[in-house]
Amino acid sequence: MSLIIKQANADTKSVYDSLCIALPEAKVSMQNKSTVIITKAKLLCVVRVRKNKLKISCDFNIKDPLILAFTIVGLLLGFLGVFIVFGIFYIIYFKSMREFRQQIYKILSN
């Protein structure tokens, strides 16, 4: 699921600056000229900047050691194992993912 903010003139640099100021505990990085990535513990949020809108989506940070270990275990268990492992993670972290995405939405919509 993703949230969309309609803005007349969205700029990647201004989005990056506002997120750096508002979220000092999170790691904010600019991947390319249209993508800003925010990582906070086990969560990763991606903001894609288009001509007249911002698209915010949230998922797991695969670089986190715990998530990476369970992903490898899921891959070793096979196709069904990956779905089981990520299904459990989505059940556990869904509320925090939604709150993190809403927090970024509130920051960028102002």
pTM: 0.84
Confidence of residue 11 (pLDDT cuts 50, 70, 90): confident
For residues 39 and 26, the answer to whether their CB atoms sit within 8 Å is yes
- Angle between helix axes 12-22 and 79-109 (nearest 10 degrees) is 90
Question: Structural domains in the chain?
Answer: 2-109 (3.30.310)
Question: Has residue 80 got a pLDDT over 90?
Answer: no
pLDDT at 51: 83
Q: In what order do the strands lie in the sheet with 43-49?
A: 2-6, 53-60, 43-49, 35-40, 27-32
Residue 43, CA distances (Å) to 28, 68, 89 in order: 12, 12, 11
DSSP 8-state class, residue 33 = T
